[in-house]
């Protein structure tokens, strides 16, 4: 065996393009045409396959690097000719060459070959995306599925339809674990397919019909933004998997609002503007400390509760492209002024599409505030893996009985949705009651 440099082949007009994924690791055994990296230009993306079979000895690139034709990708210990043929034969001749990224193809891409035998024998799922047997699984068209050749091969062997699998990898790439999870979900439903959020066919409910709306008048088809699509899949998954309960309450923020306006007047020259949201963030953290179960997450198997000792709060921000949730870290350690400045900066970054993935990770609890728009109450969807989310609606003046008479008070509607597997109704009511007490007398936040 000899060590060989593997270079970027002729990739057409792609020059100085960014690597968005490294698909192999040192020690991996690679067959001919297995993908090594994924690159992306401003127009499309594509995978770079290996021209030889062997074992990865050294990676020469990383995510974020820029490459062109002739750039060094990996150092590979190339197998002998006979061994190379054996490795290459591991990928059945029936495996179709995958679409490169978004559909771009190399000039050397082979024609679509013959069907691949399915590993599973025909089952009650035949014709529904799993366990179809050789005659049907080989006909599945994965050209639009965002997955590596090895994952495509894995899916074909199991008879799983990649078009019905939602990817959890970078930029929605489908991983082998996603395929396994899809199969597990289908089997757990007694053979009912379509558990994937992308299909909308959950719990055995028939899929939505494909309707031609133009038969009743003029229409316009507007593609969803990428954020809309990702948010939709994420929320759908959360709604299906989490047993939601929503607790409604109100907080008297009359005194809080008076104090807030006073602070804004005092800081008018500096341009600092304090919103009610920062007080709500501080009250939420006080609630998380008083009721630690709200500051936790279930593990992937749903068997253990992971309690957190940090207090990061996500705040939903409405942008022209859809909803995003930047996370504000260590809220317990920051002042009202610091949170106000950070809220202003993060909201601007969200609207300008400058949020980084790290800016939206690590949250313990989320707040969705519609107070600036309107409404009296709503049911927010839990932002998994968190176990609760607070919805805030528009405050208004209401008559409140003080024991002697009705007096006008500014009341803030609160809607707390929570995961009923972790939090019961009594604690849900205790949490909103505690929030209302904190917001009703903000001096308590200092205690």
H or E segment and range at residue 390: strand 388-392
How far from chain centre, in Å, is Cα 230? 6
The CA distance from 53 to 59, in Å, is: 15
Choice among 236, 241, 244, 420 that is catalytic: 420
Angle, alpha carbons 189-192-197 (nearest 5°)? 90
Cβ–Cβ contacts within 10 Å for residue 372, how many? 11
Residue 419 has phi, psi (to 5 degrees) of: -80, 115
State the pairing for strand pair 313-315/327-328. antiparallel
Active site residue 420: yes
Structure tokens at 42: 């401003």
CA distances from 182 to 85, 141, 159, 169 (A): 33, 17, 11, 14
Residues contacting 204, CB < 8 A, separation 6+: 189, 192
The CA distance from 163 to 130, in Å, is: 12
Decide: 52 and 32 in contact? Cβ < 8 Å: yes
* Residues recognised as catalytic: 420
């Amino acid at each position: 065996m000899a060590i060989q440099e593997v270079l970027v082949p002729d990739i057409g007009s792609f020059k100085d393009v960014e690597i968005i994924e490294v698909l192999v690791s040192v020690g991996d055994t690679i067959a001919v045409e297995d993908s090594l990296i994924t690159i992306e230009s401003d127009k499309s993306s594509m995978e770079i396959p290996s021209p030889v079979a062997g074992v990865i000895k050294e990676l020469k690139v990383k995510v974020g690097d820029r490459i062109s034709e002739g750039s060094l990708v990996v150092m590979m210990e190339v197998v002998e000719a006979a061994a190379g043929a054996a490795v290459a034969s591991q990928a059945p001749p029936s495996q179709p060459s995958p679409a490169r990224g978004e559909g771009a193809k190399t000039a050397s891409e082979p024609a679509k070959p013959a069907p691949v035998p399915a590993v599973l024998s025909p089952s009650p799922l035949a014709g529904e995306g799993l366990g179809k047997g050789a005659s049907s699984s080989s006909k599945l068209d994965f050209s639009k599925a965002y997955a590596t050749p090895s994952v495509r091969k894995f899916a074909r062997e199991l008879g799983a339809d990649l078009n019905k699998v939602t990817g959890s990898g970078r930029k929605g790439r489908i991983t082998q674990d996603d395929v396994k999870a899809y199969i597990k979900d289908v089997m757990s439903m007694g053979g009912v397919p379509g558990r994937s959020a992308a299909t909308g066919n959950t719990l055995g409910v028939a899929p939505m019909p494909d309707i031609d709306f133009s038969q009743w008048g003029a229409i316009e088809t507007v593609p969803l933004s990428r954020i809309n699509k990702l948010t939709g899949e994420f929320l759908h998954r959360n709604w299906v998997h989490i047993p939601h309960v929503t607790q409604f309450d109100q907080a008297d923020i009359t005194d809080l609002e008076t104090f807030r306006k006073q602070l804004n007047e005092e800081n008018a020259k500096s341009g600092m503007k304090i919103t009610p949201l920062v007080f709500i963030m501080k009250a939420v953290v006080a609630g998380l400390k008083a009721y630690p179960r709200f500051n936790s997450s279930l593990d992937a198997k749903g068997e253990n509760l992971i309690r957190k000792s940090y207090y990061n709060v996500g705040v939903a921000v409405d942008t022209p492209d859809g909803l995003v949730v930047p996370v504000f870290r260590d809220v317990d350690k920051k002042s009202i002024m610091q949170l106000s400045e950070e809220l202003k900066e993060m909201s601007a970054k969200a609207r300008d599409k400058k949020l980084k993935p790290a800016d939206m990770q690590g949250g313990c609890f989320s707040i969705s505030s519609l107070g600036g728009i309107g409404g009296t109450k709503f049911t927010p969807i839990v932002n998994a893996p968190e176990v609760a989310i607070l919805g805030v609606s528009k405050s208004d003046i209401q008559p409140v009985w003080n024991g002697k008479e009705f007096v006008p008070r500014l009341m803030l509607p609160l809607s707390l949705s929570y995961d009923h597997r972790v939090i019961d109704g009594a604690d849900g009511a205790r949490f909103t009651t505690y929030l209302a007490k904190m917001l009703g007398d903000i001096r308590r936040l200092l205690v």
